[in-house]
Amino acid sequence: MTRLDIDQLRKETPGCQNVIHFNNAGASLSPKSVTESMKNQLDLESDTGGYEAAQLVVEKTKQFYDAAAQLINCEREEIAFLENATRAWDMAFYSFKFNPGDKILTCVSEYASNYLSFLHQAKRSGIIIEVIKNDASGQLDLTDLADKIDARVKLIAITHVPTQGGLINPAEEVGKIARSFNIPYLLDTTQSVGQMPIDVNVIGCDFLCATGRKYLRGPRGTGFLYARKTIIERYEPPFIDLHSAKWIADDEYLLSPTAQRFETWEQNIAAKIGLGAAIQYALNLGLPEIWARIQLLANQLRQRLTDLNGIKLLDLGCNQCGIITFSSTQKPPEEIQNYLRSMDINVSVSLEEYARLDMSKRHLPALVRASVHYYNTESEIDIFCSELGKFIKDRT
């Protein structure tokens, strides 16, 4: 059991009154206080002017950095605010100067946008992409990772929790290997941050990207990048502006010495305040408590789905999280999603193109993804399983 007051947390979450939301890996339901913090800022902007409103909330916007730094155990100067996880990841990845023949090591479950960027760089710079094999459980194989390391490996870039399943890749063990060979390590924690405790010093990554709208329960269009302070100055962002750099002479500029070099001047201040409020909300509850509750619900849901005839669980790995994926022998994923939606139950469908290496290997063109958060309940799991059971039995 956890110390979270679920009834109270649900009261603070307006969406809980309308839907059974098992699409937290898509975008979670935000707490009312998070939405209010953004509305207040938009009102202030409308009443006083955008720049003037920003000046009135300087301290509030700074809180975003403090909260994000506390969340992943780093310093505020190591955090950059960006509009999503993809751009955060891009700012790190495209800061690397690759030469033809340089290698990148990645994992089978890598997210599509990241892999597309590898392909993009392979085309532009002649890098070689090497995919670390999975072990028997389906997680990244650490022995294969160590075996693949040679002098040409310039980056290890992996996804912690993939979009298409409950797998948790062994990020800490990868960090140990990366450190022992002194190879930069870029970790995509889009699905894990806010769901489980993340400590960049325990993991040992150099860069980490995260998004606001998923397990952090923040607004859409927000994300952040962590860049380890000891390496920041080695990386020149792919594009710069008057916020990330200073124009100090007609032909000279100076990049910010902090993670600010990865940001742009113009930002959605309301969304930044909202993300700060969402992170603070999670910190107040406690990440260990959040994680314990998610695991409890995920285990229950997996167990209940195992008992349903015709449902096949698809999650890989020794350690699994709040993302539960499955298929049915009776109905395609899209039909299941649509039916559940008509019953006010939200799930999503992951397509092969979101994680081609993994899903094509498993011959999965699509799967259903039900992702739980701490504010979900056992009775929601009951309703979900009962509706799913009814639908897949229905032969029409």
Ligand X SMILES: Cc1ncc(COP(=O)(O)O)c(C=O)c1O
Name the site residues for ligand X (rule: CB under 6 A): 84-86, 111, 113, 159, 162-163, 188, 190-191, 211, 223
Instruction: Please say which residue, 259 or 385, places its beta carbon nearer to ligand X.
Output: 259
**Residue with Cβ nearer ligand X (204 or 223):** 223
- Closest separation in Å from C-beta 235 to ligand X: 20
Name which of 217, 179, 187 is nearest 322 in CA terms.
217
E strand spans, 260-317: 311-313
Q: Which residues pair with 211 in a beta bridge?
A: 223
The residue (of 53 and 158) whose beta carbon lies closer to ligand X is 158
Strand ranges for the chain from DSSP E? 20-21, 79-82, 103-107, 128-132, 153-159, 185-188, 207-211, 223-227, 245-249, 252-255, 311-313, 323-328, 345-346, 348-351, 366-371
* Cβ distance to ligand X smaller for residue 54 or 317: 317
Helix (H), strand (E) counts: the chain: 15, 15
Q: In Å, what is the CA distance from 30 to each residue of 202, 212, 242, 294, 385?
A: 29, 10, 33, 16, 24
CB atoms within 10 A of CB 51: 9
Answer for the pair 318, 137: CB distance below 8 angstroms, yes or no: yes
Q: Distance (Å, rounded) from C-alpha 306 to C-alpha 388?
A: 12
| Smallest gap from residue 376 Cβ to ligand X (A) | 19
Closer of 24 and 191 to ligand X (Cβ): 191
Name, in order, each residue with C-beta under 8 angstroms of 211's C-beta and a sequence gap of 6 or more: 84, 85, 88, 190, 193, 222, 223
C-beta closer to ligand X: residue 57 or 208: 208
- Give yes or no for a contact between 336 and 90, defined as CB atoms under 8 angstroms apart: no
Pairing of strands 153-159, 185-188: parallel
Shortest distance (Å) from residue 111 CB to ligand X: 4
Min CB(195)–ligand X separation in Å: 12
Q: How far is the CB of 136 from ligand X (least distance, A)?
A: 23
Distance CA 158, CA 169 (A): 8
* Under 8 Å between Cβ of 320 and 25: no
Q: Smaller CB distance to ligand X: residue 65 or 111?
A: 111
CB of 54: closest distance to ligand X in angstroms?
Answer: 23
CB of 7 to ligand X, least distance (A): 30
The residue behind tokens 């700012």 is: 91
Nearer to ligand X, 45 or 162 (CB): 162
Cβ of residue 107: shortest distance to ligand X, in angstroms? 11
Q: Which is nearer to ligand X, 27 or 392 (CB)?
A: 27
In whole angstroms, the minimum distance from the beta carbon of 246 to ligand X comes to: 29
